[in-house]
Structure 1
């Protein structure tokens, strides 16, 4: 990437991370804190933890589409304003229902799709994948930092202080957006980075994409539900209050990353993606069953948490790659948008049904519900097709000539499995095997008479 593209990727990754950092920091400490709020029950605590996912999931795609018309930065600033207002309401509220309202507004600032669209505006077709990867890595790092930092921050400023910190981070996000992120020359729709309404039907009818959508839904539903009861288990088994539990989360996450790296290498480099995926889901299912049966057994609890987070991190890194491999050339952005919305709806459902299970039958019921979700997901993964190991490439064209003949020439290029030419966008969308793809031959094909 050139200097401008690197700046765009770095600053937009920072915008993404300051928002996610606050949202994730609340996870390991919220259940303990919420018990002291007026009107709190196991169910309403789960609702409050997860409900931001509902508003975010529903508004994610619309925010991106609206930003095509009114501008990316305007929508990002609006999203952060909603996020700040929601954070302040949650910080000031002494009632669980006030926190619910605040969390709904936090999620309503659904700027994720807008940020990705702005990344596309500010990068060339050749470097867009690298820029998107930078943002994706930031999301994973933000989650791991937040899970460790949340308990530490709660011990220093309290959980209400974390909500105030979210508001401050919202202002930081606005400042970065307005003063550090480059201004794009124009905001246009990018099929490889944004949802296209005309492609939604095709994406929602694709059984392989739906399996992946269910996968990210299940992954975050299990995570949210588990955080409703794990902090209390750590307190009862190890005598660690929620404020001190970073002592457990830090080594657990470090080990999970050590496991994740070779697993991703095996999946991507040696093309054993399905095997790694099935193994990771099975590991998480076993971890949830152990958590259900272990009670306050320290060894069982720590081993199960480590196995769960190892599987979680493997899936968090693998599933977006699988969506890219599976989506049609013209529907990558749409498939990613539906996938992202499924993740946030999973957060909401995990909070709601996890809270309900906890209220009805206590900790074991939450883990039993999560294990059942994992087993359903495992069945879907076992029966999925082997992934194609294809990636999306964009090649610029001059927009003239016979587009069908150009597409046919591109299909003859080594490594190209699919080629669609959109004359008005002056782009050819390709699905390619990166091991065999010849970029120079593709460019030459677009210039042939």
Structure 2
């Protein structure tokens, strides 16, 4: 990467880390700390933990499309402003209701799509995978850091401290976006941002539907876990600030489990390993539902849960990218993200309702039953070969479209071709055997200028 790309990648990764930490730091804390509020109830706790997911899910696609019209930076700055406002509302809350309002406002700053599109805009095609990898690593790191830091900050400054720090960090991100990230011309494509015209067809796609439901259940389960687990840990006379001593070894061991599962997959995502990972999560909830908790049982259950969660969280986006039709990856990932955040809202709501009506342990049982239904859905998932996406920028006349598609389909390694006159682009899904130079040479016979490529 050149200096410009490295600066942009590190800055956007930092923005992602600071913002996601703000969303995640409350998860291992709120269920215990919220007991101090006068209107405390398990339902309000669940809604407060997962409430951000409802507005994130609703606004993920619209905000991404808006960044195509207004520009990336204005939308990102708007989202950070709304997120900071929600954080400060939650920080000043003296009731659960006001905290819930703050969490919903936090979620309204849905800028994930705009950040990813900006990362695409500022990077060359040959370096784009590295830029995305840096941001992806930052997202995973932010979750682990938040889980460890949340209890420590809450013990020192309470819930107001967590939300106050979160809002301050969001404000600090604004000058980074404004002046450190390079200014670029918006160059969105169907593989970058969602398009409204594609939503209906992808929503009902049998394989994408299974993956969307899967990520929804995945985040429903982790939200449900973090509504209940902090309360469970207090049964072992553990104070809130000591919870990190459980989370740190659990996360470390689960990463080893993740490496083992990935090694079994050998670079692919076999259905058997996917179902095994989901099965680990189901077993974890069944163990947590045991009537007489023992500390070692809880520890083993949480390790199993995070082993499965880490593997599926890393694997599902790659599956969506592979299965999504050429030229429609942006829409597919937008829908995927919306289901992901809606799952967080469902997890908090389900946990609160079940705990209110029955008991906290029944909420663990509800999670196990949900995971069981999910595993049945996963049996219908088809294994696919990993394919790469290529975008060829070329202006093709309407009368030549059919001939171009036929010619490209005949090239070795080409699995799918979509010609978009609106984008002046040709979207390909290709295997390792694909010859990019040959495809560009072929297109030169149909256009007056050479075709540039984006990988």
- Which bracket does the TM-score occupy, shorter chain normalised? over 0.9
The answer to whether residue 197 in structure 2 is matched with residue 227 in structure 1 is no
Q: Does the 8 A contact of 2:189 with 2:327 survive in 1?
A: no
The answer to whether residue 196 in structure 2 is matched with residue 214 in structure 1 is no
* CA drift at 1:187: 2.0
Q: Which residue of 1 aligns with 2:403?
A: 405
* CA drift at 1:219: 0.6
Aligned residues between the structures: 445
Q: Does the 8 A contact of 2:20 with 2:142 survive in 1?
A: yes
Q: Which residue of 2 aligns with 1:423?
A: 421
Q: Does the 8 A contact of 1:125 with 1:395 survive in 2?
A: no
Q: Does the 8 A contact of 1:259 with 1:310 survive in 2?
A: yes
- Report Cα offsets for 1:76-135 as digits up to 9, x if no partner: 111111111111111111100010111111011111111112122222344434323332
Q: Which residue of 1 aligns with 2:248?
A: 250
Task: Give distance in 2, aligned partners of 1:9 and 1:386.
Answer: 32
Q: Which residue of 2 aligns with 1:395?
A: 392
Q: Which residue of 1 aligns with 2:11?
A: 11
Q: Does the 8 A contact of 1:89 with 1:98 survive in 2?
A: yes
* CA drift at 1:395: 2.5
Change (3 A) 1:129 1:408: farther
Change (3 A) 1:167 1:212: same
Change (3 A) 1:404 1:5: farther
Relative to the length of structure 2, the TM-score reads: 0.94
Task: Give distance in 2, aligned partners of 1:218 and 1:78.
Answer: 30
Q: Does the 8 A contact of 1:274 with 1:387 survive in 2?
A: no
Change (3 A) 1:124 1:399: farther
User: Secondary structure, in 3 states, of the residue corresponding to 1:293?
Assistant: coil
* CA drift at 1:266: 3.5
* CA drift at 1:397: 2.8
Change (3 A) 1:268 1:414: farther
Moved more, 284-293 or 412-421: 412-421
Task: Give distance in 1, aligned partners of 2:256 and 2:299.
Answer: 16
Q: Which residue of 2 aligns with 1:192?
A: 191
Q: Which residue of 1 aligns with 2:261?
A: 263
User: Secondary structure, in 3 states, of the residue corresponding to 1:328?
Assistant: coil
- Report Cα offsets for 1:387-432 as digits up to 9, x if no partner: 2322322223354682332222222232210011223423221112
User: Secondary structure, in 3 states, of the residue corresponding to 2:416?
Assistant: strand
Task: Give distance in 1, aligned partners of 2:258 and 2:440.
Answer: 36
Task: Give distance in 1, aligned partners of 2:365 and 2:36.
Answer: 26
User: Secondary structure, in 3 states, of the residue corresponding to 1:288?
Assistant: helix
User: Secondary structure, in 3 states, of the residue corresponding to 2:21?
Assistant: helix
* CA drift at 1:72: 1.3
Q: Does the 8 A contact of 1:117 with 1:190 survive in 2?
A: no
- Report Cα offsets for 1:365-391 as digits up to 9, x if no partner: 111111111111101111211223223
Q: Which residue of 2 aligns with 1:22?
A: 22
Counterparts of 1:117-266 in structure 2 under 5 Å? 117-184=117-184, 186-237=185-236, 239-266=237-264
User: Secondary structure, in 3 states, of the residue corresponding to 2:417?
Assistant: strand
Task: Give distance in 2, aligned partners of 1:275 and 1:446.
Answer: 41
Change (3 A) 1:447 1:69: same
Q: Which of 340, 343, 367 lines up with 1:346 in the alignment? A: 343
Q: Which residue of 2 aligns with 1:78?
A: 78
Task: Give distance in 2, aligned partners of 1:349 and 1:194.
Answer: 25
Change (3 A) 1:356 1:342: same
Relative to the length of structure 1, the TM-score reads: 0.95
Moved more, 339-348 or 358-367: 358-367
The answer to whether residue 376 in structure 2 is matched with residue 379 in structure 1 is yes
The answer to whether residue 290 in structure 2 is matched with residue 293 in structure 1 is yes
The answer to whether residue 448 in structure 2 is matched with residue 446 in structure 1 is no
User: Secondary structure, in 3 states, of the residue corresponding to 1:229?
Assistant: helix
Task: Give distance in 2, aligned partners of 1:266 and 1:198.
Answer: 39
User: Secondary structure, in 3 states, of the residue corresponding to 1:195?
Assistant: coil
Q: Which residue of 1 aligns with 2:40?
A: 40
Please identify runs of 4+ aligned residues in structure 1 that moved more than 4 A: 398-401
Q: Does the 8 A contact of 1:267 with 1:273 survive in 2?
A: yes
* CA drift at 1:294: 5.6
* CA drift at 1:36: 0.9
Q: Does the 8 A contact of 1:52 with 1:105 survive in 2?
A: yes
